[in-house]
Amino acid sequence: MVKRFVATAVVTAAAALAVASPAFAQKTVTVLREIDTDKYDPQKSTSRSGGEVMYMMGDTLVNLDFDMKTLKPGLATSWSVSPDGLTYTFKLRDDVSFCSGKKMTAKDVVATYERWLDPETKGLVKWRMGDVDKVTATDDTTVEYKLKKPFSELLYQMTQYFHTIINIDQAKQLGADFGVKGFDGTGPYCFESWTPRDSTVLTKHAGYKWGPAIYDATEAQVDKVIWKIIPEENTRVTALQTDATAVSQYVPYWSLKDLIADKKLSTTKAENYFWSYFIGFKVDHELVNDVKVRQAMNLAVDQKALTEAVTFGFAEPADTMLEPGVLDFDPKLDKAKYGENTKTAEALLDEAGWKKGPDGFRYKDGKKLAPVIYGIAGQFKEVAEAVQGDLRKVGIDLQIQLFDATVAWGKLATQEFDAFGMSFPYVSAGDALNLYFRSANTPTPNRMNWKDKETDELLDKGMMATDDASRAAAYKAVQEKLHDAFVWIPLYHEPLYVVAGSKLKPIRAHGNYGCGLYKGLGIAFK
């Protein structure tokens, strides 16, 4: 044990030394971020900070274009779907190898999925695979992916980093340390070292040439990428302003105005990026089970002012649950239902039987309209306080309880609260709706307790659809239903900006899972 301790220290020192030695000919870029990941195992980590590095270290069968709608070849050059929507056949590239030098074949794809399916692995978010029957390799370059039930989302899900193809030999060899001490993928960059809470170092994958066609380059343009954790907002911003080779998408709203105005830096915004902030109601809880109350609360909240204040006007105030640019979004929704209108809100509350008491708050049968809201401490604090202020104007006394991130997820799985605040990324309408509104997903992630047979049927219909039109129709119907039931108060849709230092070319920001650098092929020196 002592030996191991010493060995770790020595290895760290050596690794740190390697990082530090200024290789003048090398092109090194530092990516600044706020928090570290828990691990780099695509099947066991759902954090964005894990995902953004795994997109660079590994590849998926299918890639997603900047429009977040068009599918592009990845490790698979082409694919076909059987008419019943149950069998997907992927044709793989023949020229792909892992960082370790091992050639990638259909066997690796199969092994990756088998590992995820194996209960022993304790993999997360398995629904992202659909209801898998069997994944088989027909030959070295052909994979057959068989489902028990159609899953119209599958190809989009396959663009998510969870589906990254890994070298199973290494995963087996490292065991619990896979994704901690090592990672072997086929991506444009290779894992070199990870010092938790400090930095992750990636080096260029020599011989990589299978980058998606959405980029100008098919291989990495820099030799080394250092992902560095800088939790302090102010330090991160100052670092971006002073370090000519720094990149970051974790730029606080307050600094954006200055950063965009800074001629030395280049700041780009992801054209399509879906990460929304909302407040959800437990629709079966006494205080908020009346649709009129929920609508009133929606009308009381001034999204525009809130967004302006909290995000310095950089986010988009929401009047629908989902971002309008997302696949299968329903443009026919009545947006007026969600704007600010305190007069109507008051009338609705009166109608629902909640009368104003002498203290300015509303009561019904001696009960005060004081719903409890749970959330994660951090940025939601400001949001919650702004919402609290708006609701107070119509006589609702919102009780805010915030928890530290580690405790919060447990708390949010309980039935203790009436409403909760959250934000989430999604790739399509179906992605978001299937996650949050299936009866089977109560109490979490369906924290709304939304148990509705028709919704379930529509979601099934969307999921099993074998053509785009019927899938879209089913999901649009669900959106309409939820929109009119006011299960959420949509707050705002977050933007994603990528800032690059003066020595670097502007980097086109991608919106996939909120990982703005995506494959990292856009990082290049001027």
Partner 1 sequence: MARHIAHRLMISLPVLLGVLMIGFLLLQVVPTDPATVSAGPSATKADIAAIRLQMGLDQPIWLQFFKYITRVLQLDLGRSMISNRAVVDEIGFTLGPTVELMFASLIWAAPLGILLGSLAARRHGSWIDRAIMALSVMGVSVPVFWIGLMLIQHVGGAGLLPFQGRDGPLWTLAGLKSIVLPAVTLGSVFVGPVARMTRTSMLETLAADYVRTARAKGLTEWKVTMHHGLRNALIPVVTLIGLQIGFLLGGSVVTETMFAWPGVGRMAVGAITSSDFPLAQGAILILAIGFLSVNLLVDVIYAGLDPRIGSAGG
Partner 2 sequence: MSDLTLDLQEGGAPRTNKPAWHRLLKDPAAMAAAIFLLLVVGAALLAPWVAPSDPYASNLRLRLCPIGGPRCPGLLLGTDQTGRDMVSRLLFGLRATLMLGFTAVAIGGGFGATLGLLAAFYRRLDTPIMRFVDVLLSFPPILFGLAIAAVIGTGLNGLVVALCITAIPSIARISRGAAQQVMHQEYMEAGRSLGLGDMRLLWRYLAANTWPVILIYMTLQLGQAILLGAALSFLGLGAQPPTAELGSMAADGRKFLTIAPHVSTLPCGLIFLLVLAFNVLGDALRDALDPQLRQ
Task: Tell me: does residue 152 bind partner 2 (CB under 8 A).
Answer: no
12 versus 173: smaller Cβ distance to partner 1: 12
Strands 62-64 and 28-33: unpaired
Q: Does 234 participate in binding partner 2 (rule CB under 8 A)? A: yes
Q: Which range touches partner 1 (CB under 8 A), out of 10-18, 78-86, 302-310, 506-514?
A: 10-18
Select 208 or 492, whichever has its Cβ closest to partner 2. Answer: 492
CA atoms within 13 A on the CB side of 444: 11
Point out which span in 230-238, 242-250, 489-497, 501-509 binds partner 2 (CB under 8 A): 230-238
Residues 180-209 binding partner 1 (CB under 8 A) are: 180, 195-199
Task: Tell me whether residue 73 or residue 313 sits nearer to partner 2 (CB atom).
Answer: 313
Residue 309 binds partner 2, judged by CB under 8 A: yes
Whole-angstrom distance, CA of residue 221 vs CA of residue 34: 24
Q: Contact between 386 and partner 2 (CB under 8 A)?
A: yes
φ/ψ of residue 99, rounded to 5: -60, -30
CB of residue 279 to partner 2, shortest distance in Å: 17
- Residue from 63, 255, 267, 295 in contact with partner 2 (CB under 8 A): 255
Rounded Cα gap, residues 373 and 337, in angstroms? 22
* Residue 231 sits in the site that holds partner 1 (CB under 8 A): yes
- Span 395-434, contacts to partner 1 by CB under 8 A: 404-407, 410
Is residue 306 a contact residue for partner 2 (CB under 8 A)?
Answer: yes
Q: Kindly provide the residue ranges of all beta strands, DSSP E only, lying in 265-307, ordered along the sequence.
A: 266-269, 275-281
- Distances 162 to 62, 89, 157, 253, 276 between C-alpha atoms, Å: 12, 19, 8, 29, 21
Of partner 2, partner 1, none, which one does residue 389 interact with (CB within 5 to 8 Å by kind)?
A: partner 2
Distance from C-alpha of 178 to C-alpha of 115, rounded to nearest angstrom? 13
Residue with Cβ nearer partner 2 (378 or 443): 378
CB 363 within 8 A of CB 355: yes
Task: Quote the least distance from Cβ 308 to partner 2, whole Å.
Answer: 8
**Tell me, what amino acid is at 332?**
K
Binding-site string for partner 1 from residue 107 to residue 146, where x marks contact by CB under 8 A and - marks none = ---------------xxx----------------------
Number of residues engaging partner 1 in binding (CB under 8 A): 45
> Per CB under 8 A, does 359 bind partner 2?
no
Instruction: Establish if 12 lies at the interface with partner 2 (CB under 8 A).
Output: no
Q: Say if CB 466 and CB 84 are below 8 A apart.
A: yes
Question: What does 485 interact with, of partner 2, partner 1, none (CB < 5 to 8 A by kind)?
Answer: none
Size of the site for partner 2 (CB under 8 A): 19
Asked if 249 contacts 496 with a C-beta cutoff of 8 angstroms, the reply is yes
d(CA 283, CA 503): 52
Q: Angle 68-73-76 (CA atoms, 0-180°, nearest 5)?
A: 135
Cα separation, 320 vs 335, in Å, equals: 7
> 40 φ, ψ to 5°?
-110, 60
Q: Quick one: which of 67, 131, 140, 258 contacts partner 2 (CB under 8 A)?
A: 258
- Kindly tell me the burial class for residue 222, based on how many C-beta atoms sit within 10 Å of its own C-beta (0-12, 13-18, 19 or more): buried
CB of 508 to partner 2, least distance (A): 27
What token pair was written down for 59? 């590849």
> To the nearest whole angstrom, how small is the minimum distance from the Cβ of residue 144 to partner 1?
27
Among 243, 262, 385, 397, contact with partner 2 (rule: CB under 8 A): 385
Nearer to partner 1, 46 or 388 (CB): 46
Q: What are the residues facing 290 on neighbouring strands?
A: none
Alpha-carbon distances, residue 82 vs 63, 86, 153, 225, 395 (angstroms): 20, 6, 15, 41, 57
Binding positions for partner 2, rule: CB under 8 A: 232-234, 237-238, 252, 254-255, 258, 305-306, 308-310, 381-382, 385-386, 389
Q: Which stretches of the chain bind partner 1, using CB under 8 A? A: 1-2, 4-5, 8-9, 12-13, 16-17, 19-22, 32, 38-39, 122-124, 176, 180, 195-199, 228-232, 234-236, 238-239, 241-243, 404-407, 410
